[in-house]
Chains A and B, each alone.
Chain A
Amino acid sequence: MLHCEKLTCVREDRILFKDLDFTIKPGEIVQVEGPNGVGKTSLFRLIVGLSIPYAGNVNWQGTSILNDRENYYQNLLYLGHKTGIKPELTAFENLQFFQKLQPSHPGIDLWQVLAKVGLAGYEDVVTAQLSAGQQRRVALARLWLNDCLLWVLDEPFTAIDKSGVKVLEQLFIEHAQQGGIVLLTTHQDLSIDKQLLTKITLQKIEDDFYV
């Protein structure tokens, strides 16, 4: 269970959002939406613990994430705007690194995972030579690989084609049905059943000057 408690984010002396409260339970898919610059990425960076909140707390299973990072990161998979894929390594080597360092499904075959994300035949190509969409697919392949409860995905559909988006949506639904949590931002309309999908809408605040 992920609980954000009176979260306030200040960027460049401006308040992006304040006193944000919400709880996400296992089995939920949550889409954070709002116009550009409203603080979606900042919110996600607070949730994964890359930034420290100006005020408030992020709690995972009742304890603040900053107090017990290693336990929290056992359960977390974060994909940001930057893919985290090394351009000088091949798709296979990149995934292998993540498989060995993060909790992964035992006995999963990396070749099959790469085939699933449509990269069959590209396993041994240095990722710098792949297209933007293919590079993103390498990063997204980690979703099949790992064993984490909480997925925090910042614009996962960037550069992904329509059929790829469908496959991912299906994967999100399966993950939620198995008791996982999916937290994502996207500007596309998701074709996920309304009962499964919750939306958080961030709005620009009027008096956003920090005093």
Chain B
Amino acid sequence: MTPPTATAPEAVRQPLIPPSTHRYAEVIHRLEAGGSMLPDTPENLMQIIGIYKAYAVPMDFYWRDLLYIAERVFLDPLPAFKYFPTQEYLDLPNSYQGEQSKLRIWRGGEKAHPELLEFMAKGETTAMPKLLHHLWHDRINMEFAEACMDAMFWHQGMGGRFYDYLECDAYKANADRAIKAYFKGNPLMLGLYALFPEMFLEQVRKMSYYANLGLFWEVMAPVFFEMSDIYDEGGFSGVPAAMDFLVNGIFAVAGRPIYHHVYIGGECLEIIPKSEGFTWLYEAALPYVEAVFYRTAPFRGTKSYNAQAGQVPSEQADFHYGILYADVFPVGSAGIPPTLLMQDMLHFLPPYLTELYAQHKRGEGDILNQLGVTFQRSMYNVTSAVIQALRCALLYPLDDTDPEHLMANRKFFEAQMDRFIRPEARLSQIQTQDYR
């Protein structure tokens, strides 16, 4: 399959449809020209690529540990060591990097990223047993990855067939087999299972979302690594080119199977077999963007919400607490800047971003804030790629000459931008470089 490009032809055409009157008309016109929601400036390009790289290194740990939890820890009632994936999982070949890869996205080796391994060995402190690193909180924070998984698991119903499948008899039968195999010889747990079967089933469903997110990020990490390498070689001409790379990547791996296997006693049990036909784009990528970028949840500490006062929407679809809406300075002085993800990314910032942050605001003193805003910018670019990919998949090319088709594209873009009309959205802020 030849990946469709989002970029419009270079030749300047006469507009076939009138300008948009939408509040975000400028952004819509940019999208129609093959651009991103993020303005095309050298600094934006530098910021997003730098943060992709800083994000990808911990993400290389996230996906490995998510799969480890889904496949090996599974239903351990006391999973105290779930954040300690075995060497087997740290060495797990990424399907999209290394020599063995059938679709090689990143030119690097197939194992965990060297910077990740170096950090895991020494952390911010010094080399010591990993349990001490963990207790000292000198580690990659899997709590962030689990929060993303929880958001996907809790929101559900975001398209695709994945959630519905978790309620079907075939899934329940597979889960039942896995539960009984896992607790074989454990009458206490089996007794509890007999008493409260739904509780155990729900845990297995959760594990399936661990696998889902792990398989999603297994793709994204090499994509971001490769983008960083290309940028270092001077390969991206601007933000739209970076977005095009993402769009092409999305189409290239869209059909990647999403499954959930669990390994018990040397046997592989297929809870969600590959043969079910769940795909990366519809069962993982789109739900992930919807759940994490748009919705998430009013996490404790992010803001004081009062559900009785109507500050929390009654419909999950109306939730708007994701990174695209996150406030740098929310009430209560918490929020995106000091999250665990920002702390994780801080360890792997490329030097050019560190230098950039040193020049603005409080330099190192508020680097997590500046990093958080950069992350927000970069996720607007990723969301742009998803919007363009959806437009490619569902609607018409940008260089279509039929005004009706262009108007359909326009309505699609306007509908997407409608989601950013609410005051919490940061789309208008990221249009300027002053937002840091």
Do A and B come together as binding partners?
no
